[in-house]
Structure 1
Amino acid sequence: MTTIYPILSLMYADFLERIRRYSFFITIALAAIIVYWFLPPASASYVTLGLGNYRGEYNSAWIGTAVALFTSTLLLLPAFFLVKNTVERDQQTGVGQILATTPLKKFAYTFGKFLSNFACLLVMIGVMFVTAIIMQLVRMEDKQLDIWALLQPFLTISLPAMAVVAALAIFFEVIPRLRGGLGNILYFILWIVMSIIFLNARPSFDLYGISPTLSSMESTLQQVDPGYVRGHFTIGIRPIKGHVQLFHWNGVPWNAVLLTERLVWILIAIGIALLASIFFTRFDPAREKTREYSKRQEKQEAQAALIETPAEVTPAPSFTPVTLTPITERGKLPSINRLFIAEVHLLCKGLPLWWYIIAAGLWLAGLLVPLTLAQGIFLPLAWIWPLLIWSGLGNRESRYNTGQIVFSTVRPLTYQLPVTWLTGIMITLLTGSGVGIHLLYSGQWSACLAWLTGVLFIPSLALALGCASGTTKLFEIIYLLIWYFGGLSHIAQLDFMGATSASISAGIPGYYLIAVIPLLALAFLGRRRQLYI
């Protein structure tokens, strides 16, 4: 009882703090809105959950399962970023240092934070459940509402998946190197790998719950259409030719074996949360083997070794009053070259030698490989490599609490902010210039304009989101999604860099070029708000 009470108290306090944030409500509201798009009417020219041209009738079982699968697949990415901030917040606010002085055990802290993460994601599941009820009443393909048939998929499919995400979030946070942008990138890669495995290979034991669901759907459909060939499963968005064909499906017949498999994922989540306590350092900087701390410690030890005890006490120096130079009404602007160099130094500070070697390799590959390969593969790779550099634009002062120093300089809004934007453009220009030179040499003028759009759009997006949010996370999430689906997966509507000829011929990069103007306006307003906080 003495252990359970601190865990529940920590979970309850952290849960209340999170659900009062605007970001929490915005994320859940956006997810609920997307559900409307995820359940299109029968007259739509696309399906989001279907088997070939077939889709289940919108009864309680199909709608509940569709929304539950949407929650356990596509929402796993934003759900992770929604809850991955609790340990970092305790460290920044000083609460962690206070907790470190208490008898609270490490496993109690990590498990309490895991329960807090899980409680927040349970709220998201609850909102999705209510949205599913509303959507059945909106579509009206089946007027009979079966609450249990709607609720069952959320308990068996969504709940175990969200439990694993809640555990992974706390596990990534207790490891110092995975707490920031590197951890965000690694989880994004993990989500892509899991999606490829569970959606394509479809193993019997999968986190998403697709295997038992798909098996039941296909068995029912083959009774309706014996000529249906298994394997034509879609979750996402896929255009169809003609009208969608409906069939009646009563849901997955969950048995003891299937329920045990879903329960195992919950036990795995609990095991990950308990494993996180082994790596938890109780906010002790001496145990967090980060690069910055090691260098700082070595410097302090070197300085301490040079200090020698004086042989005799020297008299205190005498001070004479001095008169300072009066401050003129308008300060002198610093040299733009020096300011630009200083911004570049801050952006690239701490990058290891291998980072520059890989960047040079991507640049050389973009210049030498065939043009189609350079546009479709190496340009996206070149413009994901500096992600952690771009993510620092506009929010470095907020993260390191240096705003009062930096913003006290001359014209921080109309002078320093544009220089920061230019440094981001320089990074984008240099990393992608291999492909740019290749396009220019080949006379691909439309592709060159699309490439120039990427040069301007990426730092503008980073600066705008950094100034508006004061953190790196928002840019990392949004840019990773746009980069993956547009640059790498070649979805034309999200291809801002012209990685495919389809986006260039449709003029898609032009829309992103126009978007640079409102992004810069957002950066201006966000920085102005930072000045007067």
Structure 2
Amino acid sequence: MADMEGIQRLTALLRADVLQRLRAPRVWALLAVLSGAAWFCFPPASSTYMILGVGGIYRGQYGSAWIGMALAMLCIWLSLLGFYAVRGSLARDIDTRVWQLLAATPMPRAVYLLGKWCGNLLVLLIVLAGATVAGLAAQLVRSEDRAIDLIELAKPLLLLALPLLSLTAMCALLFDLLPWLRRTAGNALFLVLWVATLAVTQQGLQSEQQRAGTRWPGDPFGVSVFDRTAHERLARQYAVDAAPGFCLACGMANKQPRMLDWHGWQPTAREAAGRATWLGVALGAVVLMASLLDWAAAQAGPPARGSATGAGYSLRWLDRLLQPLRGTAFGNVLALELQLALRQRRLWWWLSLMAAWAVQLLAKPGVAALALVAAWVLSLDLFARSGLREHGQGMGAVVFGASGAARRVGCARWLMLVLVGVLCGLPLLVRFGIGNAPLALAALAVILSLASWGLALGALTRSAHAFELLVCALAYLAIDGAPALNVAASPALTGAVHVALLPLSALILWRTWPGGRHA
């Protein structure tokens, strides 16, 4: 009887949790993006590209087995994007004290967390189901093999995709549970961990041990399983002994793809055990988290000094600096926005900013530009969450109720973000404004873009995750020398791109900011 009651509680919690998540626009946006990506994973044979291939020229015939394998590899990206789509449910229960009500019921902690984990996983599987429908449609349209074999389609999805998505669902729960990972820091850290794990996995495929055939079948993405199968079929069908490496989004120029016989897929027992191990790791971690639930809920007490919602530091020098703005209504709002933003910064933020300032002032242009990117990332929570303040606190009707208030607050908040961006790069702007004007102008263009897109994406998605993921990805590319945020790589190109995108962000803000079209 007790077991049946536990199952009923779990089922009821899961149903309510999934229905609530499916109301979020970001889930449907992810479903649309991944379904579209699934369609483009299977271009016609005449295309000059392929999404999943081996050696840049070999791919499987578009049958059910290859469709399933390609979708399982597409889940590498779903494991990243899906994390940002599903996280937040547990954090919301803790922040709103809903957990205190649930804790008073007979529901065990482990059952509650299992329900949350299953909710995360089910949402990811719904997104994968949409991508699968798109993949099957591509199979029928491309007509390379119109016979649909649901078993061969499902095998890679269950063996490769399911364990990976279960890990993503577990990580979303863990990052919601730990207080210091619930917001921007956790979003940035997950991207770093995802990139590092993928890099280690790819490096492992190039090792001598992998080339000798003694592959470790337990990498979380399942890439080694696909890699082994593809190279075995290459050796059998085309007598290719060397391992040319698999690729995602392979460029083919004017070459025609060469087909691999991929009508079925039989994983080894060792590979199946490795995949089951990852599924067990995810499930076991969720059960172990139950012992931390009460502690995590207790950490959501009154805000600490300097926290994002507390009173923060006094910063009397800031009051004196902002005093000239107090003469007008708009200036007063701007001063309040700056005080609210800067007083919440913790001591470590100011120390880190000073370190970034020193690098900007003394280092070579390339290193100084990376220090500027680091300073912007330090302030990522401000850029991503400033447009969500009233939405999260339920104060929109009060703040924007007066005539012209929405426009006044929106403009003041945008200007506040611009000034914070300038503060992050003040030494670089002064230094290169004198000796390297194109670089300084490019930095100003990026600052305007960060402020505009931070507010626009926040107002559009009602979430900080999209902008945080975008900036973290661009910061990673900046380290590799890409000019998106690295103003030293190509100042003219960087500035031109960001300036060109400003009208689009302004249009989104006009359409989505509270009262924007009527202010």
Q: Tell me the TM-score range normalised by the shorter chain.
A: 0.7 to 0.9
Partner residue of 2:456?
464
The question of whether the paired residues in 2 share the 8 Å contact of 1:107 and 1:274 is answered with: yes
Indicate yes or no: 2:353 matched with 1:340. no
Cα distance, 1:409 vs structure 2: 5.3
How far did 1:238 drift?
Answer: 4.1
Match for residue 309 of structure 1? Answer: none
1:62 aligned partner, one-letter code = W
Residue 262 of structure 1: which of 246, 262, 275 is its match?
Answer: 275
Of 477, 481, 500, the match for 2:489: 500
Deviation at 1:474, TM superposition (A): 3.2
Q: Deviations over 1:233-279 (max 9, x none)?
A: 322x3434441431313254212211111111111111111122111
**How big is the shift at 1:20?**
4.1
Q: What residue number does 1:57 align with?
A: 60
Q: How far apart, CA to CA, are the structure 1 residues paired with 2:244 and 2:296?
A: 50
Alignment match of 1:247 (pick from 259, 282, 285): 259
Cα gap change, 1:201/1:186 in structure 2, threshold over 3 Å: closer, same or farther?
Answer: same
Contact 1:391 1:462 in 2 (8 A): yes
Rounded Cα–Cα distance in structure 2 between residues aligned with 1:30 and 1:172: 24
In 1: Cα distance, 2:447 partner to 2:455 partner? 13
C-alpha RMSD of matched pairs (Å): 2.9
Query: 1:123-150 CA deviation, whole Å, 9 max, x = no partner?
Result: 1222222222112122233344333222
| Preserved contact between residue 207 and residue 265 of structure 1 (Cα < 8 Å) | yes
Taking the TM superposition and a 5 Å limit, the aligned residue runs for 1:9-28 are: 9-28=12-31
Alpha-carbon offset, residue 491 of structure 1: 5.0
Task: Look up the match of 2:371.
Answer: 378
**Structure 1 consecutive aligned stretches of length 4 or more whose deviation exceeds 6 Å:** none
Looking at structure 2, the residues matched to 349 and 188 of structure 1 have their Cα atoms a distance apart, in angstroms, of 28
**Aligned twin of 1:350:** 344
> Per-residue deviation at 1:429?
1.4
Call closer, same or farther: CA 1:439–1:283 in 2, change over 3 Å: closer
2:465 and 2:29 map into 1 onto residues whose CA distance is 15
Mapped contact 2:49–2:250 kept (Cα < 8 A)? yes
1:131 to 130, 134, 153: 134
1:294 Cα shift? 7.3
Amino acid at match of 1:477: L
1:398 corresponding residue in structure 2: 391
Equivalent residue number for residue 479 of structure 2: 488
Say which SS state the counterpart of residue 123 (structure 2) adopts: helix
User: One-letter code of the match for 2:31?
Assistant: I
Equivalent residues of 2:359, 2:367 under 8 A apart = no
Paired residue type of 2:291? I
Q: Does 1:407 align with 2:400?
A: yes
- Stretch moving more, 36-45 or 182-191: 36-45
Distance, in Å, in 2 between the alignment partners of 1:340 and 1:396 is 15
Contact 2:387–2:454 (Cα < 8 Å) also in 1: yes
Q: C-alpha deviations, 1:191-213, integer Å up to 9, x for none?
A: 11111112232454200001121
Q: Is the 8 A contact 1:347 1:392 kept in 2?
A: no
- Give TM-score scaled by structure 2 length: 0.85
* CA distance in 2 between partners of 1:107 and 1:118 (Å): 16
1:354-407 per-residue CA deviation (whole Å, 9 max, x = no partner) reads 2112122122213322223334x3343232221112122221122123334433
Q: Is the 8 A contact 2:373 2:485 kept in 1?
A: no
Which region of structure 1 is more displaced relative to structure 2, 268-277 or 83-92? Answer: 83-92
Cα pair 2:159 2:275 within 8 Å, conserved: yes
Aligned length: 487
Q: Determine if contact 2:217/2:274 at 8 Å carries over to the other structure.
A: no
Report the alpha carbon displacement of residue 69 of structure 1 after superposing the two structures with TM: 0.6
C-alpha separation in 2, matches of 1:178 and 1:259: 32
465, 482, 498: which is aligned to 1:512? 498
C-alpha separation in 1, matches of 2:146 and 2:26:
35
Q: State whether residues 80 and 166 of structure 1, in contact with CA within 8 Å, keep that contact through their aligned partners in structure 2.
A: yes
Correspondence for 2:354: 360
Which residue identity lines up with residue 255 of structure 2 in the other structure? H
Whole-angstrom distance in 2 between the partners of 1:393 and 1:480: 17
Instruction: Report the secondary structure of 2:221's partner residue.
Output: coil
Partner of 2:511: 525
Contact 2:10 2:112 in 1 (8 A): yes
What secondary structure sits across from 1:479 in the alignment? Answer: helix
* Equivalent position of 2:411 in the other structure: 418
Q: 1:294 and 1:434 mapped to 2: Cα distance?
A: 29
Give the corresponding residue for 1:212.
225
Query: Does the 8 Å CA contact 1:11/1:115 hold for their aligned counterparts?
Result: yes
Unaligned runs of 5+ in 1: 301-331
The reply to whether residue 276 of structure 1 matches residue 289 of structure 2 is yes
Deviations 1:133-182 (A, max 9, x none): 11212223334433322221101110110111111211221222222222
Partner Cα separation in structure 2 for residue 180 and residue 444 of structure 1: 36
Give 1:53 deviation, angstroms. Answer: 2.7
Aligned to 2:211: none
Aligned to 1:69: 73
> After alignment, is 517-526 or 109-118 more displaced?
517-526
Looking at structure 2, the residues matched to 291 and 135 of structure 1 have their Cα atoms a distance apart, in angstroms, of 53
Whole-angstrom distance in 1 between the partners of 2:269 and 2:94: 44
> How far 1:93 moved relative to its partner?
5.9
Give the deviation of 1:338 after TM superposition.
Answer: 3.5
Contact 1:213–1:252, Cα closer than 8 Å, also in 2: no
Distance in 2 of aligned mates of 1:354 and 1:93: 28
1:47–1:240 Cα contact (<8 Å) kept: yes
> Would the aligned equivalents of 2:217 and 2:275 in 1 still touch at CA under 8 Å?
no
What is the TM-score when the length of structure 1 is the normalising length?
0.83
Note if contact 1:42-1:244 (Cα within 8 Å) is conserved in structure 2.
Answer: yes
- Give a deviation string over 1:387-445, Cα, whole Å, max 9, x none: 11212222112212333443345632232221111110011112133443454344352
Structure 2 CA distance for partners of 1:76 and 1:338, relative to 1, 3 Å: same
Structure 1 residues 153 and 53, CA gap change in structure 2 (3 angstroms) = same
Equivalent residue number for residue 327 of structure 1: none
Q: In the TM superposition, what is the alpha-carbon distance from 1:499 to its structure 2 partner?
A: 5.0
Q: What residue identity is the alignment partner of 2:85? A: L
TM superposition shift of 1:83:
1.4
1:453, 1:38 → 2: CA distance?
Answer: 35
Higher-Rg member (1/2):
1
Stretch moving more, 387-396 or 11-20: 11-20
283 and 354 in structure 1: CA distance in 2 versus 1, 3 angstrom threshold: closer
Unaligned runs of 5+ in 2: 206-215, 312-325
Superposition deviation, residue 333 in structure 1 = 8.3
